């Protein structure tokens, strides 16, 4: 996608803004990829909420859920959509995926015209989930053609956030999967959210897969649902200055070696466990200012992920 500028807008999720160096680029196309129940809609509602707080115009194109259901879901998060805008009727549209082209050509221009008259500073557009649109155009060639047009149109109106269902489960970074390849390729930024089910801090996680024009933070970060609007990403590991200590604890060294070996494993699931174990060990290292401490004497954190999978 070509972008007009590099001005940034807040995603509505503080941790994501930290990882994306301040937020999403205006008029870009951004994707949240995750399997069922990972928090994609919650994410999209937090994005919408931020827009309403900022006085942005917001447009939520839902391909599955009705506006009243989404308004109810937002309310459960403490987002009073009707109270925040006079335009709640215009805000959420249930679009049938087979009518997407008709919507784009007949209905959207009228909505865009309305925006022009209102002289809004910025518009946020949500597509949730994009997946039924992908089914409408099964060939990648078609998907690429149609989505390019859709994104060109939408990103000229505002900053787009779309959610994409990930077909595979644990450990897969589906950048190459046929089901998600085209929209991921065409996106300016991609955030991957997962429910790993490991328990503890890394039960749910978030990772930036790509972000054009932004040197983003690598790594896997804990994701939590929070009271109030949405999701919190724990980016404390980004903010902590890494200490250059030499750790003499033999057990720690053993586990770090296991982490190193596991991070080269063919199995993506094992590589994720290695990454998380490394984070957990790293956190202990930072907490201990005294060298030679028994850093892993008391293991927990699910016994450092079952001693880095033995
Ligand atoms: N505050 C919360 N505390 C714990 N779990 C929560 C909270 N909010 C949401 N969840 C869990 O997250 C799940 C999914 O939220 P959400 O609808 O945002 O995910 P999704 O990825 O859009 O799912 P789907 O694939 O069904 O569209 C909820 O069904 C619920 O299990
Ligand atoms: Mg959803």
- The domain segmentation of the chain, as residue ranges, is 8-238, 250-309
Binding site membership of 38 for ligand 1 (Cβ less than 6 Å) = yes
Lowest mean pLDDT among 116-125, 164-173, 242-251, 297-306: 242-251
Cis peptide before 129 (omega within 30 of 0): yes
CA distance 157 to 124: 8
Binding site membership of 211 for ligand 1 (Cβ less than 6 Å) = no
Alpha-carbon separation of residue 166 from 99, 131, 193, 269 (angstroms) = 23, 9, 9, 15
Which mutation among 34, 37, 65, 206 tests ligand 1's pocket best, with the greatest number of atoms within 8 A of CB?
37
Binding site membership of 201 for ligand 1 (Cβ less than 6 Å) = no
First to last CA, the chain: 45
Radius of gyration of the chain (CA): 21
> Which range has the top average pLDDT, 83-97, 143-157, 212-226?
143-157
CA distance 228 to 181: 33
Class of domain 8-238: alpha beta
Binding site membership of 41 for ligand 1 (Cβ less than 6 Å) = yes
Binding site membership of 131 for ligand 1 (Cβ less than 6 Å) = no
CA distance 154 to 186: 13
pLDDT category of residue 244 using cuts at 50, 70 and 90: very low
Q: What is the pLDDT of residues 121-146, one digit of tens each?
A: 899 999 999 999 999 998 999 999 99
Question: Which pTM value belongs to this model?
Answer: 0.82
Supply the DSSP string of 9-67, one letter for each residue.
E--S-HHHHHHTTSSEETT-EEEEEE-TTSSHHHHHHHHHHHHHHHT-EEEEEESSS-H
Burial class (CB in 10 A: 0-12, 13-18, 19+), 84: middle
At CA 96, angle to CA 93 and CA 98, rounded to 5?
A: 145
Centre of ligand 2 to C-alpha 230, Å, is 13
231-233 sheet: strands from edge to edge: 92-94, 57-62, 123-128, 159-165, 29-34, 189-195, 204-211, 221-225, 231-233
Contact 47, 124 (CB under 8 A): yes
Average pLDDT (58-84) is 93
Q: What is the pLDDT of residues 146-189, one digit of tens each?
A: 999 999 999 999 999 999 998 865 555 555 577 788 999 999 99
């Amino acid at each position: 996608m070509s972008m007009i500028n590099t001005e940034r807008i807040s995603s509505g999720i503080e941790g994501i803004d930290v990882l994306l160096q301040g937020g999403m680029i205006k008029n870009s196309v951004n994707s949240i990829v995750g399997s069922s129940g990972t928090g994609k809609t919650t994410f999209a509602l937090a994005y919408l909420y931020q827009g309403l707080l900022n006085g942005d115009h917001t447009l939520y194109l839902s391909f599955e859920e009705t506006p009243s259901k989404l308004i109810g879901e937002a309310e459960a998060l403490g987002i009073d959509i009707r109270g925040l805008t006079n335009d709640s009727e215009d805000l959420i549209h249930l679009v049938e995926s087979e009518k997407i082209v008709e919507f784009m050509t007949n209905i959207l221009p009228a909505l865009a015209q309305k925006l022009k008259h209102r002289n809004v500073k910025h518009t946020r557009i949500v597509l949730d989930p994009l997946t039924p649109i992908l089914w409408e155009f099964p060939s990648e060639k078609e998907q690429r053609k149609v989505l390019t047009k859709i994104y060109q149109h939408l990103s000229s109106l505002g900053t787009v956030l779309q959610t994409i269902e990930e077909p595979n489960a644990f450990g897969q970074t589906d950048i190459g999967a046929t089901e998600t390849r085209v929209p991921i390729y065409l996106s300016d930024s991609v955030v991957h959210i997962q429910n790993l089910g490991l328990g503890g801090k890394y039960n749910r996680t978030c990772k930036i897969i790509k972000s054009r024009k932004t040197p983003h933070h690598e790594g896997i970060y804990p994701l939590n649902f929070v009271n109030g609007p949405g999701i919190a990403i724990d980016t404390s590991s980004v903010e902590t200055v890494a200490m250059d200590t030499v750790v003499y604890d033999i057990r720690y060294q053993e586990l770090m070696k296991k982490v190193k070996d596991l991070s080269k494993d063919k199995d993506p699931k094992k590589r994720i466990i290695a990454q998380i174990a490394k984070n957990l060990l790293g956190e202990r290292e930072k907490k201990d200012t005294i060298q030679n401490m028994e850093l892993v004497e008391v293991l927990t954190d699910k016994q450092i992920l079952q001693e880095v999978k033995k």
